[in-house]
Structure 1
Amino acid sequence: MRTWVVCHLQLKHITRSFQNFVLHQYQPRKSSSFHSFSSQNNQSRIFSTVRVLFLPYDPSMLSCCYRRFCIATHLFDKMPQRVFDVREVHFQLVADCIKLSLRKPNIVTAVVVHCAALKIGALAYLPTSTSLFTLYSKAGDFTSSRDLFEDIHNKDVISWNAIIAASLENKCYITAVEFFEKMIKDQTRFDSTTLLLMASTLSHMKNFDQGKAIHCVSMKSGMLVDISLCNALINMYAKCGDLNCSDSEYLFEEMEYKDAVSWNSIMRGCLYNGDPDKSLCYFIRMTFSEEMADHVSLSCAISACSSLGELNFGECIHGQGIKLGYKDSSHVSVANSLISLYSQCGAVDVAETVFREIAYKDIVSWNAMMEGYASNENIHEVFDLMVEMQTTGSFRPDIVTLTTILPLCAELMLSRKGRTIHGYAIRRQMLSDHLPLRNGLIDMYSKCNLVEKAELLFNSPKERDLVSWNAMISGYSLNKYSEKAQSLFKELLCCSSNCSSSTVISILSSCNSPNSLNFGKSVHSWQLKSGFLNHILSVNLLMQMYINCGNLTSGFSILQEISSIADVASWNTIIVGCVKGDHFQKALETFMLMRQKPHFNYDSITVVNVLSAIANMELLNQGKSLHSLAVKSPFGSDTRVQNSLITMYDRCKDINSARKVFKFHSSSNLCTWNCMISALSHNKKSREALELFHCLPFKPNEFTVISILSACTQIGLLRRGKQVHAYMFRYGYQENSFISAALVDMYSNCGRLDNAIRVFRHSMKSESAWNSMIAAYGNHGNGEKAIKLFHEMCESGIKVTKSTFVSLLSACSHSGFVSQGLGYYECMLEKYGIKPEAEHQVYVVDMLGRSGRIHEAYEFTKGLQSNASSGVWGMLLSVCNYHGEIKLGKKVAEHLFKMEPENVGYYISLSNMYVAAGSWKDATELRQSIYDQGLRKCAGYSLIDVGLG
């Protein structure tokens, strides 16, 4: 209410003053222009403008404003007319009116003053008309400004400069150039201000050629003595990207007198063109000159230090800024630059101190601090600061704020926060005119697996650019919608032939299966035609595509073609692709070929992936050789390499070497501890794994929990398993399907099937959880329930795997369901597409052996021929031992002695068979043979957990 009264009184005062001014000072002749102004249509137009200005206020106020405005114009029209001499009129009053209006320009004031000038004939006075079209320009009505300028007949250089400045102010750069051309044609003499304005215009247009022409005109006319013009030319050259051509530097050095703006212009130019070193050199020169650095100089120098990561130099400039008195609130730009410097150099705590010391922060301060937190992975602080900005700082997030936060939401898959930002952008009407923000939202939704929402944004009627297309194609590829990605790429090529390297990356990522090979080949052809194979990155992506599609031959042939220019990334592309596709031998061969090159080079990625291939093939000697190579290289202390070494020794069953690696790097990170705990658990060192877990200096994560549950399962520690279960609930790991499966295994192996069933019912029923529950029923002799659960799994749409059939065949074996088990084995490949492996064959032999069908089991094993593993023959030997089939057992044992001569277990099994049959002589001879070969059987032991069950 108070605001309405104030505005009402102000408008009343303006109207009354205007009436008095007109009635008492002048009696001008009636003007057709003013009649046009006071007509019904124009009054409505002006009232619409007033309405926009007073939009937040009450409608009754607008009505009152309109009535008073109409009365004013009516009285103005009805006042008596008389002829007068223009020379008698004092135009200074109108000029003063315009000067005052320029402080807070608006369209209504401009129109009213225009009317007054028309009435008294002041438009004939050139300074008045020039000031008036300047007022229109500053009020945002450039059309009226231009029309008024065209009506002036006796234009001088000031008028031309004013209209060029108005064009520049309203971002009508081409119009400004046109006015300059007209000015030259009218043979109006220009001055240094004209050239300064044109230099600024051409810098915005990035028109280097015309900018050089202005420079030549400046030299020819002898106007380069004007420091402001020189500064504008330096800025123009920098904006046109010509700093390296030394034109701006040459001009700078030729300047006889340099002010602070000159130094700032050349420093900003260096920064703009990506040369922070040179920018700092100019700053150092400035400090030794007569000119004192101002807040712009300091900001430029600090930004240069940020780009170079020069924290020490930046701290010196910080100290110099404090000495010069730029710590106060009036120069917040210096503090903002310091926040960016300290953040980029990792000193985010110092950046926060600088931020908190700013008395009057602007939106840039908040954005700089948020970006600093984001770059240093202080994610929670970013969102907390945004809330603080709106509550205590009274600032609303702008485009920069949103574009800073959106990548975090995308990277961390914070879809809820991302949707909140989307809603805020819609509410503030930011999406309509800001394409990068919409592209950021498309990327965020794609990375958060919300492709439908990304599609809605992409398919909106708003404008889209190449970034939009790339983001959507990448989103489809990322979410495994390969066909949609490829279809959209074809649509892009139909719409526009302008593509970028990001387009290539996005579309090649969609070619990740043999079904996409033909499309990938067509993309290869398109790359050849479009010239995208000139860069090594594109070639590397192409090799990766062929390997992902299973065409190793094409991938290797491309590598051979570029072997002379191939970099580390090229070799890594082949090695990583082979490891991901389980082509471990090929990965090792590629590494050996890489080592034969004259300029052999590799990095931590190479070592990690080759170690992974060696681990999967269990090649201990090659692993040790690579370990030696890694120790000699700078990557020997890399945490990822150390973790890979522990895992490699774990897979190769060399736990002592794994312990040694861990001993030297035990303080690395949680991943290192997880690798060691997992290695101990895999190698049946469960007690040691539990002891190491008790010494863990980090907060355990899901991987730690799974490894410890595996250790508890091996030694039947139900009490420890329950403690881990409680820990899991405390830290919210209950939704992890792998942990649920490990819990089912633990409770089942510890004899608590009821707890295993309860965990399964309340878990996220993933493939691993189903497999564990089927195995649990089988281990407890509930074969019928295991089979029923298997069918439920198939009906629920969960894809069965080889592990599923291992659990199912184990259940059939333990429960004596031989015919069902054999039926499932026979239909594995035909019905479910799973090729039987040694793990499945072992349980078939076990099934047949348990039911007394020993010879049938032998024929089955013989039928496997060379594909039969030692595990299958070993199970057959156990069956023979159980049924006392000494003749068949001897034949099987001899076969095993050839396959694994150092496995003492086979000798012991045959010896026990001899003893059971009373053949002591044969048993004694076999025992002597074991002694002669130096073989030893590991001592057996039993465990009991004393405590609460």
Structure 2
Amino acid sequence: MGNRVQTIKSSKANFPIYLIRLTGYFSSPLLPSNKKFSSRIPVGCKLKHPILFIGSHGLFSNVHPPFAAKSFHFSTVVQPFAKMSQRDSYRLYTQFYDVIDLLKSSTARPSLVTATIAHCLAIKIGALAHLPACTSLLTAYSRAKYFISALALFDEFCDRDVILWNAMINAAVENKSYNVAMQFFVEMTEVGVAFDSTTLLLIVSALSHMKYLKHGKSFHCLSIKVGMLGDCSLCNALLDMYAKCGDLTSSQSMFTWMDCRDVISWNSMVNGFLYNGHPGKSFWCFREMISLGIRVDSMSLSCAISASAALEELSSGQTIHAWGIKQGYNFDISCSNSLISLYSESGDIEASKSVFKEMVLKDVISWNAMIGGFASNGMILETFDMLYKMQLTGYAQPDVATLFTIISLCAEWMLLREGKTVHGFTIRRQMISDLWVINSLLDMYSKCNCIIKAELLFNAIPKRDLVSWNVMISGYSRNGYSKEAQSLFKTLTHQCLQLSFSTVLAGISSCISLDSLQFGKSIHCWEIKAGLSSNILMVNSLVHMYINFGDLSAAFMLFDTISAEEDIACWNTIIAGCKNNGHFREALATFNWMRQVMDVMCDSITLVNVISACGNLLLIYEGKSLHGLAIKTFVGSETRVQNALITMYGRCGHTKSARSVFDFCSSRNLCSWNCMISAFSQNKEGRRALELFHFLEFEPNEITIVALLSACNQLGLLRQGKQIHGHVLRIGIFENSFISAALVDMYSNCGQLDLGWQIFTRSKDKSIAVWNSMISAYGYHGNGQMAIQLFHKMCDSGIRPSKSSFVSLLSACSHSGLVNEGLWYYRVMLEEYGVEAVTEHQVCVVDMLGRAGKLEEAYEFIKQIPGEAGVGVWGALLSACNYHGNMEMGREVAEHLFGLEPENVVGYYISLANLYVSVGGWKDAMEFRQIIQHKNLKKLPAYSINIDAASSSASAWK
């Protein structure tokens, strides 16, 4: 066979269309020799079925050209009436409509095979010149998703009427070729075919999908000009177009102007309001339909139920459900899917399961709604079980939306193993090319602290979108890779000038250290240049960044720029930022400012932060006032507020008030128990901490373990401490650095320094807390030289000493009598290590000099301290005077302490009395005792610890 292929570029379409004409000579009983056939198809179309050549005289498939491995459909339409005069015209007319009936059944059940058979039959009887038959055949190919065959068939007709043109435009819309539909309309007008209202309806539908509002308005004007707005269907299409393009004003005006409104018109408004984020108006429109007596359909019910879900009004959705059942409505799949989402979002998962079980027909959306309902309610096992059941069905298989829900669940609950399994499933099902899935996987890996795998996946993406970049930058920032996040941000700016709002927020979140200050300021400049300086969320992020850098003046200046639009979120940002960075007084001052200048009702987040600030500052009276405010504003019953109150009272030493809050807490969580146990442990009430632990209702975590080890440390309960250590090994949290530090403290304070050293050497993650505990342990046992060696070893390992490190080191020097070494470390602490001296360091120095009997040097040291020395410093000197019997200096120090801390004056009176007793001054000691009785001063009574009871409580470990 000889072949000649010609390609001619089409000038009438905005996508590449080529005319492929093949000329050949064949031997077939249905096709005479020397006949030609031709067709045109869009470039890039993939055809999966065997070659089928359709000629004007019949069907033949015994031709095998050189390119027969590919599949093409060809159709040739001629005028067969002139060649078939011998046939009975009446019989021919009847056969045409037999073919039309066959094609109608084909369109009802779209199938390429059925459409091809009908095509062959139409050719055989010469029915393709009959426009109704040709139109039905074109529609059959379209609904079978073989737009190429429909296009080829249409291209062979010369005498086309408006119905055939409409059928072709509708085929383009059905196959999502909206630009092609527009081009056909242009071509239709160019050849002089008069369009009708159906043509305009189809074009408006295409514009609605493309969200071309400007073009849609043009066709609205065209409809008015040609006088076709009397067609209710066209008006409904315009309503829907305006709503989907976000122009609700025009949509409402169109609806008001319409004379003939049917249920589709009302549904367009109900769905339009819901689509544009106005569920309240959508629900109101639904109620208007009912009040006007308009018979609602499944579309109306589905939208109304979805509006109830968006409004979080479960009762409204239940009312619609009951009303629909009472009125005898048949809840189809869409209504049932909406009901599943409504009940799931309201937390009534049993109702969702009931609706799902009653559904006779379930589609993919039904399964996705049920899976999403389980996931949103934290029912992890049920979610994966539903996914497994979905895969067992033959009609509904997981799609992109299913995978997105599952991957998001894995990210939220940090289920790395399950997330990897889903990743493998996407590869096996060949769904990994979907960017939506890839971005979800990126987010999952970054939230599961597996940033290396996220990086590998990001680098393997062939064509990244902006979401991919944003997720990766956020992932780097979340996992502490600030340099990598900033480098990726700079790379993105070089490749893409149009950054999104999320990109800038991701860049700001990477500024977590002082060396990122310049980068953060550059983002601030870019934000001002881009005109985002008035965006509250952006300003809040920048305020938080500047507070983290310690630049409070810049943060408050930036905060003032949005004073006109401040809401509670803005105030919470600056209050929480100050509290988290140690600026507790500034946090309280900002809270008082908010209460004075703004009519803003504080919420639970505000109170949690200011209560925590009071606890850190030991402001018990202010904390009690906030407790009253929490009760007054009805947020005092929230668990996180109650936990903050327990912690605040514990830090202020009011364990009785803390226990009162704990006892009245209606919904305790593990954090509540940890706060209460820690409050007892911090206030040297280890016995009560162990007793409370006996009634713990949850599985203990790292915080619980540390608090319990501290209690055992106070009570010297080595046996119970070992039991806790065994439990730590069983549950696999022994590598936690805080637990390692607590174990070192417990063993060393219980006299088992060798066991503490074993814990230290076996600790893989030696944080600064573990080093400090071991240095303190050696100092506690009088081995100051070993503590000094360990300190230098810590510095050589790359860990920078902290304030606590020097407290442990100076204390070790004090207990070992290494006065010169201790004084040297105190002097170089700021110069060489960048640690500023605080009260704790000064107390250690005074104690060190006092133990060595150098009271005068200690006194001179206190005088050289900038500002007023703390109470603890003078108290250490008083203890030293008491120990060495220096009565004169002791009396002077005690009188100074009377003025500094009058609320603890009884303690200093007793210390001074003991000092006089130690040097034989019984008369003066009796005078101080009489002063205490005369002023009715009382010292808090001490108590003895029932070791057996505490031991039995601690042995509750299993």
User: In which range does the TM-score fall when normalised by the shorter chain?
Assistant: 0.7 to 0.9
Contact 2:858–2:877 (8 Å) recurs in 1: yes
Alpha-carbon distance change, 103 to 590 in structure 1, aligned in 2, over 3 angstroms:
closer
Distance 1:393 1:307, change over 3 A: farther
User: Which residue of 279, 282, 303 corresponds with 2:282?
Assistant: 279
SS at match of 2:154: helix
Q: Distance in 2 between matches of 1:135 and 1:560?
A: 66
Aligned residue in 1 for 2:272:
269
Within 5 A, what are the aligned runs for 1:491-640?
Answer: 491-597=491-597, 599=599, 601-640=601-640
1:915 equivalent in structure 2: 917
Q: Is the 8 A contact 1:373 1:382 kept in 2?
A: yes
* One-letter amino acid matched to 2:37: S
In structure 1, distance between residues paired with 2:405 and 2:693: 39
Q: Is the 8 A contact 1:741 1:768 kept in 2?
A: yes
1:387-466 aligned at under 5 Å gives the runs: 387-391=388-392, 395-432=396-433, 434-460=434-460, 462-466=462-466
Indicate the residue corresponding to 1:809 in structure 2: 810
TM-score by length of 2: 0.83
Which residue in 1 is equivalent to 2:11? none
For 1:505-904, list aligned pairs within 5 A: 505-597=505-597, 599=599, 601-665=601-665, 667-729=667-729, 731-760=731-760, 763=763, 765-783=766-784, 785-864=786-865, 866=867, 868-901=869-902, 902-904=904-906
Q: Partner letter of residue 462 of structure 1?
A: P
Q: Is contact 1:234–1:251 with CA below 8 Å preserved after alignment?
A: no
Letter in 1 for 2:83: D
Alpha-carbon deviations, 1:655-687, whole Å to 9, x = none?
344344444436544433432332232223333
1:234 has 2:234 as partner: no
Q: Which has the bigger relative contact order, CA under 8 A and spacing at least 6?
A: 2
Look up the SS of the partner of 1:596 in the other structure.
helix
State how far apart, in whole Å, the 2-side matches of 1:747 and 1:370 are. 50
Q: 1:350 to 1:52 in 2, by over 3 A?
A: farther
In 1, are the aligned partners of 2:476 and 2:484 still within 8 Å (CA)? yes
How far is the alpha carbon of 1:85 from its aligned partner? 2.1
Q: 2:248 maps to which residue?
A: 243
Which secondary structure does the structure 2 equivalent of 1:449 belong to?
Answer: coil
In structure 1, what is the Cα distance between the partners aligned to 2:458 and 2:565? 39
> Does the Cα contact within 8 Å between 1:849 and 1:879 map onto a contact in 2?
yes
Aligned to 1:473: 473
Which residue identity lines up with residue 751 of structure 1 in the other structure? Answer: G
Question: Is the 2:689–2:708 Cα contact (8 Å) retained in structure 1?
Answer: yes
Partner residue of 1:85 out of 63, 83, 86: 83
User: Using the alignment, how far apart are the partners of 1:149 and 1:408 within structure 2?
Assistant: 49
CA–CA distance in structure 2, aligned partners of residues 845 and 365 of structure 1: 74
Cα offset, 1:399, TM superposition: 0.7
Per the alignment, residue 347 of structure 2 pairs with 346
8 Å Cα contact 1:870/1:899 also seen in 2? yes
- Report the more deviating stretch, 187-196 or 277-286: 277-286
Query: Is 1:230–1:251's contact at 8 Å kept on the other side of the alignment?
Result: no
Give the equivalent residue in structure 1 for 2:316: 313
Kept in 2, the 8 Å contact 1:28–1:84? The answer is no
Please tell me whether the aligned partners of residues 684 and 714 of structure 1 are also in contact (alpha carbons under 8 angstroms).
yes
- CA displacement at 1:342 relative to structure 2: 0.3
Say if 1:101 and 1:358 are closer, same or farther in 2 by CA, change over 3 A. Answer: closer
What is the deviation of 1:712? 2.9
CA distance 1:742–1:157, shift in 2 (3 Å): same
Equivalent AA in structure 1 for residue 471 of structure 2: A
Alpha carbons 2:611, 2:644 under 8 Å: kept? yes
Paired residue secondary structure (2:240): helix
Moved more, 298-307 or 441-450: 441-450
Q: Please state how far the C-alpha of 1:920 moved relative to its aligned partner.
A: 2.7
Q: Deviations over 1:403-454 (max 9, x none)?
A: 112233333333333333333223333232x323222223223333333433
SS at 2:192's partner residue?
coil
**In structure 1, distance between residues paired with 2:496 and 2:226:** 47
Pick the aligned partner of 1:184 from 161, 186, 189: 189
Task: Tell me what 2:387 maps to.
Answer: 386
Deviation at 1:929, TM superposition (A): 3.8
What's the secondary structure of 1:835's corresponding residue?
coil
Change (3 A) 1:99 1:850: same
RMSD of aligned alpha carbons: 4.1
Question: Which of the numbers 167, 173, 176 marks the counterpart of 1:168?
Answer: 173
Q: How far, CA to CA, are the matches of 2:237 and 2:565 in structure 1?
A: 45
**Which region of structure 1 is more displaced relative to structure 2, 241-250 or 534-543?**
241-250
> Is residue 242–residue 251 contact of structure 2 (8 Å, CA) maintained in 1?
no
Which whole-Å CA distance do the structure 1 matches of 2:642 and 2:45 have between them? 76
Q: Is the 8 A contact 2:568 2:600 kept in 1?
A: no
Secondary structure at 1:550 match in 2: coil
Aligned mates of 2:811, 2:659 — CA distance in 1: 34
**1:33 matched residue in structure 2:** 37
Aligned CA distance change for structure 1 residues 703 and 195 (closer, same or farther; 3 Å): same
**1:886-905 Cα distance to aligned partner (Å, 9 max, x none):** 45444544444443353444
Could you tell which deviates more after superposition, 225-234 or 86-95? 86-95
Counterpart CA distance in 1 for 2:520 and 2:363 is: 50
Query: Displacement of 1:503 after TM fit?
Result: 2.8
Distance of 2:110 and 2:599 partners within structure 1:
69
With over 3 angstroms needed to count, the CA separation of the structure-2 counterparts of 1:692 and 1:207, relative to structure 1, is: same
* 1:101, distance to aligned residue in structure 2 (A): 6.7
| Identity among equivalent pairs (%) | 54
Q: Does 1:199 align with 2:197?
A: no
Structure 2 CA distance for partners of 1:548 and 1:228, relative to 1, 3 Å: same
In structure 2, how many angstroms separate the alpha carbons of the residues matched to 1:47 and 1:624? Answer: 74
**Aligned partners of 2:608 and 2:641 also within 8 Å:** yes
C-alpha deviations, 1:484-511, integer Å up to 9, x for none? 4344444444444433332332222233
- In structure 1, the residue matched to 2:482 is 482
Structure 2: which 5+ residue stretches go unaligned?
Answer: 1-26, 53-60, 72-79
Q: Is the CA contact 2:847–2:876 (under 8 Å) kept in the aligned structure 1?
A: yes
Cα pair distance change 1:701/1:437, threshold 3 Å? same
Please name the residue that 1:374 is paired with: 375
CA deviations over 1:773-801 (Å, ceiling 9, x no partner): 33334333454554454455445444432
Distance 1:489 1:254, change over 3 A: same
2: CA distance between counterparts of 1:252 and 1:424? Answer: 53
Task: Name the count of aligned residue pairs.
Answer: 897
CA contact (8 A) 1:133 1:149 kept: yes
Q: Write the distance in 1 (CA, Å) between the matches of 2:107 and 2:913.
A: 110
* Distance across 1 between alignment mates of 2:291 and 2:927: 98
Alignment check: 8 A CA contact 1:686 1:712 kept:
yes
Larger helix fraction of residues: 1
Match in the other structure for 2:24: none
Counterpart CA distance in 1 for 2:141 and 2:560 is: 69
Alpha carbons of structure 1 residues 519 and 842: separation in structure 2 relative to 1, 3 Å: same
Instruction: Please give the alpha-carbon distance, in whole angstroms, between the structure 2 residues aligned to 1:83 and 1:589.
Output: 95
For 2:869 and 2:240, locate their aligned partners in 1 and report how far apart those are by CA, in whole Å. Answer: 79
**SS class of match (1:187):** coil
Contact 1:49 1:107 in 2 (8 A): no
Q: Once the 2 structures are TM-superposed, how far is the Cα of residue 754 of structure 1 from its aligned partner? A: 5.0
